[in-house]
Amino acid sequence: MNEARFRIWTVGLAVLVIGTLGAFIVGRLAANFFLLPATLTRESRSDVPDLVGRELEDAREEVEDAGAALDVLGLVYSAEADSGAVVFQYPPQGLPLEKGKPVEVIVAAGQGERRMPDLVELPEASALAMLETAGIPVAGVRGAAHEGFEKGTVISTDPSAGAPLGAQDSVVVVVSRGDAIVEVPSLIGKSPEEAAATLQGAHLRVGETTFAAGGGGEVVVLGQDPPAGGLARTGAVVNLHLGQGAEDEAAE
The answer to whether 237 touches 184, Cβ cutoff 8 Å, is: no
Distance CA 227, CA 111 (A): 57
State which H helix or E strand residue 197 sits in.
Answer: helix 192-201
Burial of 119 (0-12, 13-18, 19+ CB in 10 A): buried
* pLDDT for res 45: 62
Inform me whether the pLDDT recorded for 201 exceeds 90: no
**33/85 same-domain check:** no
* pLDDT for res 78: 65
* pLDDT for res 126: 85
Mean per-residue pLDDT, 182-205: 93
Distance CA 173, CA 151 (A): 14
Percent of the chain with pLDDT over 70: 77
What's the predicted TM-score (pTM) here? 0.45
State which H helix or E strand residue 9 sits in.
Answer: helix 2-30
Q: 231-233 and 181-183: which strand pairing? A: antiparallel
Show the domain range for 71. Answer: 47-112
Examine residue 54 and state whether it is found in any structural domain, yes or no: yes
* pLDDT for res 251: 41
* pLDDT for res 84: 85
**245/192 same-domain check:** yes
Examine residue 90 and state whether it is found in any structural domain, yes or no: yes
- CB under 8 Å to 113, separation ≥6 — which residues? 77, 164
Q: Is the peptide bond before 91 cis (omega within 30 degrees of 0)?
A: yes
Q: What φ, ψ does residue 218 adopt, rounded to 5°?
A: -70, 155
Grade residue 223 by pLDDT with cuts at 50, 70 and 90. Answer: very high
Examine residue 125 and state whether it is found in any structural domain, yes or no: no
Inform me whether the pLDDT recorded for 101 exceeds 70: yes
Number of neighbours of residue 10 by Cβ within 10 angstroms: 10
Of 216 and 187, more confident? 187
Of 239 and 108, more confident? 239
**Tens digit of pLDDT for each residue in 102-160?**
998 888 877 667 788 888 888 898 889 888 878 889 999 998 877 678 889 999 999 99
Grade residue 3 by pLDDT with cuts at 50, 70 and 90. Answer: low
Inform me whether the pLDDT recorded for 11 exceeds 90: no
Inform me whether the pLDDT recorded for 53 exceeds 60: yes
Domain count across the chain: 3
**53/35 same-domain check:** no
Inform me whether the pLDDT recorded for 180 exceeds 80: no
Examine residue 100 and state whether it is found in any structural domain, yes or no: yes
**238/213 same-domain check:** yes
Examine residue 121 and state whether it is found in any structural domain, yes or no: no
**56/33 same-domain check:** no
**Tens digit of pLDDT for each residue in 15-36?**
444 454 444 444 544 444 444 4
Residue 234, domain CATH: 3.30.10.20
Last residue of a domain, one of 90, 112, 134: 112
